[in-house]
Amino acid sequence: TSYPSIVGEMLASGFGIIGFSWICSPACTELEVVVMDWLAKFLKLPEHFQHASDGPGGGVIQGSASEAVLVAVLAAREQAVISCKETHPELSESEVRGKLIAYSSDQSNSCIEKAGVLAAMPIKLLPADDDLILRGNTLRKAIEDDVAAGLIPVICIATLGTTGTCAYDDIDSLADVCQALNVWLHVDAAYAGGGFALEECTELRRGLDRVDSLNFNLHKFMLVNFDCSAMWLKDANKVVDSFNVDRIYLKHKHEGQSQIPDFRHWQIPLGRRFRALKVWITFRTLGAEGLRSHVRKHIALAQQFEAFVRNDSRFEMVAPQALGLVCFRPRGDNEHTAQLLQRL
Ligand code: PLP
């Protein structure tokens, strides 16, 4: 975290804004629109994720990666139900819902599996290849088998930067399958998203122009204190239309204008905190270059630590060093690793 972010957090608490719609606090909504577009540019995301683009895309700040994933899973589920009711009028809604199925890798974070539990939709954890990467051929085979068994594929959640080893799923080959079979593709880049900002990590962003949604935790790599999880959608209407529940007391006369979203439709709770303030203050104080050097510093530290491991015969690497993560273990019995962990 950083002092600028903590100041932003204190100010937001002091203002006491509960910005569920634009009218509650125009600054709360509009600053979020501004910082999410800044961030999209900073991370060099495809232009369609910006609010300022011509299309229906945009970004929103969620509390956690778990919430962002759940929002994507729920929206994909509702969109699948709508389209299946059109293509299969003979099926009742409960029959359709009973056939839905989602996919991720066995290396994905626990929050993916939990999203499936909360969304009442099974998520198959497909085996990653030996390098712990999920690729399109595994996904295609699983989907084809499931379709043959009468199931309806809804969403695949890929990971850029897995929790275990910071492995990067092959977004390009997964997108080939998802686009061909009309499956929503979400990318969980909770940790590794910080790498998108660096020229030398351009490879990480390959295929992102073909994903429907993605999330990145600013509280992991961007010096912003917990909680602050950025989420972008290629077509925000798919989320808004899925979650839109209105009451007379929520209406205001500026509703529906493209530049003033009511973010309550993009998330699970009604009320929302003024998180954009801490992002804005952090960016204004440290600057884009300051944040890039912070990420670079962590990568350099990891490389230095990797060299320590490689030069010490007591230890070995378990996976290649990736961004700030070095997976290593004492050689020999796994018990040594358990003991070291305990002592640490
Ligand atoms: N996704 C990945 C890849 C993670 O590493 C983590 C946490 O470590 C999460 C999701 C969950 O993040 P959150 O605590 O913001 O829900």
* Between 136 and 24, the higher pLDDT residue: 136
Domains of the chain, each with CATH number or no CATH = 1-284 (3.40.640.10), 288-341 (3.90.1150.10)
pLDDT at 258: 63
Cβ of 191 closer than 6 Å to ligand 1, yes or no, is yes
CA of 217 to the centre of ligand 1 (A): 8
- Express each pLDDT in 210-256 by its tens digit: 999 999 999 998 999 999 999 999 999 999 999 888 888 888 888 77
Q: Residue 260: what residue type?
A: I
Check if the beta carbon of residue 71 is closer than 8 Å to that of residue 239. Answer: yes
User: Which pLDDT does position 219 carry in this prediction?
Assistant: 94
Ranges of H-type helices in the chain = 3-15, 26-42, 65-87, 93-98, 110-118, 136-148, 171-181, 218-221, 237-243, 276-310, 334-343
**Is pLDDT of 337 > 90?**
yes
Predicted structure pTM score: 0.95
246-290 pLDDT tens trace: 888 888 888 777 678 999 999 999 999 999 999 999 999 999 999
Reading the block at residue 66, the tokens are 């778990």
Assess whether the C-beta atom of 109 lies below 6 angstroms from ligand 1: yes
Q: Return the percentage of the chain with pLDDT > 90, whole number.
A: 92
Reported as a single tens digit per residue, the pLDDT across 5-31 is 999 999 999 999 999 889 989 999 999
66 CA → ligand 1 middle, Å: 7
Say if CB 57 and CB 233 are below 8 A apart: yes
- What is the pLDDT at residue 245? 84
- Residue 163 Cβ inside 6 Å of ligand 1? The answer reads yes
Residue-wise pLDDT for 47-94, tens only, equals 999 999 989 999 999 999 999 999 999 999 999 999 999 999 999 999
Contact by Cβ (8 Å): 113, 125: yes
